Structure 1
Amino acid sequence: MAYEFMRVEVRDCATTHFWFDNWMGVGKLIDATGAIGTTYLGLTRRALVCNAVSGDGWSMRNKRSRRFQLLYNQILAEQVPSVDRGSDLVLWKQGEDDYKDSFSTTNTWEQIRSKKPKVDWCRVVWFSQNIPRYAFITWLAIQNRLSTGDRMRSWGITQGCGLCGEQDETRDHLFFACPYSFTVWEGLVRGLFGRRTNPDWSITLNEIKRSRTSQLDTILLKLIFQAVIYHIWRERNSRRHQGKWTTTDQIHKVIDRSMRNRIVSLKYGPQHKHAGLLQRWFQLTS
């Protein structure tokens, strides 16, 4: 795969392999001619490009052969190497018909990755102030990839909601139709949503995606959303696997502490918004 990105600019031709280096922009010549090409052109498999040069021109056997006439013509069209031009230069593909003598991770990734339409919820998950582990769980939740009860049923395992006892545990129930999780969620976003706080997952997600006048409120709402999802999921797993229970008031305190810690940490980042965020957070939680 890497070979497809490499090309050699022949200068003195002292280090470039005739058959295996992409020096003409058509890939490996051995692939075009097959093993018999080495016999027709009189160049061994280990030959360098300089072995095909004599004096001031190209020198190869069977120039009149019809079998590889096109290849002959292509080689003759190439500039004859010369020691005056310096050493051979290995180039890396930066884009369509764009090769440079440097490597770019960004350009390489853009060429090999599978591109899909941009999802409208990306800014809810990925933003500069997020907490990575919270963002990851939120990313899984939005794609409905958490191992909730409805997904476990496909594996032959039946389980209800460990937070309220509901028989059918789904992503949409857990966030935030479950009375326990909705109590946590509603208590934290009351100052931002007011009476518009809704237990429906789709409505809630659409509301968070909506742009707001206050940038501080936008950041805080996304942080709260991710923090609640993370801690509700953690509480659900704690009850199921360890038998430990936490009240909604206790989770409120844990989330409040994590929010303050994250806001204060922004003081040392590139965006010095911690003062305004912290003040706004105090207003919402007072």
Structure 2
Amino acid sequence: MKKHGAKIAWSSIGKPKNEGGLGFKDMGVWNKASIAKHVWFLFSGGEGSMWCQWVKSYLLKGRSFWYVKIPSDPSWVWRKILQLRNIIFPLIKFKIGSGEKVSLWFDNWHPLGSLWSRFGPRIVYDAGLDLNSKVSSIISHGAWSWPFPNSWEIKEWIDSTPPSFKPMDSSQDSPLWCLTGDGDGSFSIQFTWDCWRDKGRKVPWNKLLWGPPFIPRNKCNVRWPYLTWLEYVELAVKSTKGRSLKPVIVKLSFMCTVYHIWIERNGDSWYLLQWNLPSTIMKLAPHSNVGRDMRDVSAPILRVE
């Protein structure tokens, strides 16, 4: 049995079909999106989740999720969750209501992001507040009650707060997921995966290979004009539109041709020798052939017997 290496990179076949791939999902990216959902549950009101309550009681113990260190002997799941904090943190923002559930120093509620990451532990000392303080500690009667500006860190913090950025103490704090399809701030694994994956350009020929054709019960013969390979693809795309018998048969004929060429491209050269085809048939055509006006090219001639 012959052993061959991979003929094409996984990153190419792991793209959607309309981008030239086989529709496989990159499980590494999908796993990251699934882990992000667990993190989202920790901030989006997971009181009804036993896992969230267990994490808050036995792993976090009142500390901020963003600040807790990775223990020396964590479980595999908890280690993976903590290792992804850097890419997840910018995606979870908070709309401040009463401020009772949002960490003052570690959560992403201010336009500057995490105040701890921005200014370090010095600002906690200068503000005279506790490390576990909530945003509610600087809210009084629906307005900001800033610490005394006795350092440049606190002055920058106050100056960087837009006048329109105000708390609404009559409502609850609400987390917002930045990667959303409809902009409502809710989490979606599918959309998060789609944003994180490597994207390719759209291809016009995906429906030639992945459409739902039916097998005709007629003998047919399709005669194609003499063109370059890229022009064949463009002509096939235009000639297989519709659901009548002719475009379906042309589509199946083109698919069979592509399949046999693919077999030859990845195996012995028996077909190429029998059909007297050049070995470079699957290579890209010169740039001079790309963009040729196909309106003057005749459509494939179909004869049904």
**TM-score bin (small chain):** 0.3 to 0.5
Give 1 or 2 for the bigger CA radius of gyration: 1
TM-score by length of 1: 0.48
The two structures have a TM-score, normalised by structure 2, of 0.45
More helix by share: 1
